[in-house]
Structure 1
């Protein structure tokens, strides 16, 4: 199982060399076996790649992300040769009843709120018990918007004087970075399994090409939030409000962080693939319980 992640943050040329990825930097060459690579983030405009290595990344199902001038992920290499039953997967996705989609959304949101409570407990913050109780009250489709109510409670305990999506706050920049890499990984897994990422269970924006990825990421978000808090605890107080390369490296590593999925503990990037597999099983059998949901590993 692929286990290695690479953040390219300085001038580097990536090429194909004897069935390995050759990374050439000013410090010398490094060879990386494709079967070991889980993700590669191109976090500098001074990275160059050959067409041969891009094709090899796609064949090996390696997640490849590009970043914008603010170092936020803005693009992903998605596989075109999907699951061998790609048409069948798409038919099941399109045929899913509204009732089934509401129950799947219930499962995702209940897990998200429960994970928020667990994160508060792990950090020694108050409020975890209340969020756990709220998670048990989520109904199909979340008609009472417990997700929004839980988010307000959660972030008020997680950060002081915090407002989501406020520019100039390094906490928001870190959250955006972590969410973006996990979202891209899920989108890659959806495409590989034959799903259409734009056709969501709950999210349905006509301007969003990744509605389904935005559905499945929900229970993973608190795990990213936990990684952000831990990064902030390690960060120098005078580090400023922009993301340093050390911040980006730590947040990219969330893909390799351990999470619990049922009785198993595995890397988040592999847990995402299992969730996508479970979604197909749930749609095929009409049983939401077949959709596994992640939880913090502790």
Structure 2
């Protein structure tokens, strides 16, 4: 299983040695992980240093290095310039894709996200029939912003009427930020490995966002983080503790049921990015392979991540 390496202790030094990422404190080694087993390196701590050789070794494996602020939201990501043997052709197709195709793709992503939100609510015993009605109203490009309408219904039903989603807040919001960072890193890696450019988004188009495409593709997966956050809160976890980090890191290996059997979230992310590349090449949005909403049993299995 690919692993998330989280650096949360101040003053650690990271370097590459004989195929391993080695973590040291002072001159004492405190841990090592095979480079080929790493899905992402996430740095939260102050005073962390690393060698250029390590960053190069990670880039050669398309492994993102994510730097986070105090609220656990990512502020910088290092990814390779080369990611796929057909990268030039795929990036050209991505750049030249017309707005009608982009709008159709965004419609499919919004529909998938709303259905995932409904699945999370239903797993908690909450009636979510209204979400399928919202799905029917999503048009190409989502001009009516049905995504936001679904969110306004979703968060109070999931977290309570008093909850407000705030990237700068702690508590539940901090947990959500950290979980989204894990999945965003996974999607960023998948995008690069598929030969696509992460800054050319389908819908997200902020000029300062270098990972707009990863932010597009992560949307259907976000409710997984929401569901796990809810379970952590129920167990009294209010902050991003080491056990919480381990639970969120385990999300990438969570099994999901798809058309071709059961695959982990990491494989679903790879398949999504690869299918998007085919959409750009063929001009057909029907090529997009989005993950199916999890069943209540699969969502119940999130509890195993906290043990």
Q: 1:4 to 1:84 in 2, by over 3 A?
A: same
The alpha-carbon deviation at position 47 of structure 1 amounts to 3.2
Moved more, 161-170 or 271-280: 161-170
The alpha-carbon deviation at position 251 of structure 1 amounts to 3.0
The correspondence of residues 195-274 of structure 1 with structure 2, limited to 5 A, is 195-236=196-237, 239=238, 242-274=239-271
The alpha-carbon deviation at position 46 of structure 1 amounts to 4.1
Q: 1:143 to 1:275 in 2, by over 3 A?
A: same
Q: Tell me the matched-pair count.
A: 292
The alpha-carbon deviation at position 261 of structure 1 amounts to 4.1
Is the CA contact 1:174–1:228 (under 8 Å) kept in the aligned structure 2?
A: yes
Is the CA contact 2:64–2:188 (under 8 Å) kept in the aligned structure 1?
A: no
Post-superposition CA distance 1:75-95 (Å, at most 9, x none): 222011221222211221122
Distance 1:268 1:105 in 2: 20
Q: 1:232 to 1:296 in 2, by over 3 A?
A: same
Distance 1:163 1:243 in 2: 18
Q: 1:259 to 1:47 in 2, by over 3 A?
A: farther
Partner of 1:79: 80
Partner of 2:145: 145
RMSD: 2.5
Partner of 1:281: 278
Partner of 1:293: 290
Q: 1:253 to 1:47 in 2, by over 3 A?
A: farther
Structure 2 residue runs of 5 or longer lacking an equivalent are 299-307
Q: 1:203 to 1:273 in 2, by over 3 A?
A: same
Partner of 1:8: 7
Is the CA contact 2:44–2:72 (under 8 Å) kept in the aligned structure 1?
A: yes
Given the two structures, how large is their TM-score scaled by the length of structure 1? 0.87
The alpha-carbon deviation at position 169 of structure 1 amounts to 4.9
Structure 1 runs of 4+ aligned residues shifted over 6 Å read none
Is the CA contact 1:262–1:292 (under 8 Å) kept in the aligned structure 2?
A: no
Post-superposition CA distance 1:93-150 (Å, at most 9, x none): 12212221111111101101111111111122222x2213322442222233221111
Given the two structures, how large is their TM-score scaled by the length of structure 2? 0.84
Partner of 2:157: 157
The alpha-carbon deviation at position 166 of structure 1 amounts to 7.2
Post-superposition CA distance 1:228-261 (Å, at most 9, x none): 112212225xx5xx53344344334433333344
Q: Per the alignment, in what secondary structure is the counterpart of residue 296 of structure 1? A: coil
The alpha-carbon deviation at position 39 of structure 1 amounts to 2.0
Distance 1:173 1:109 in 2: 24
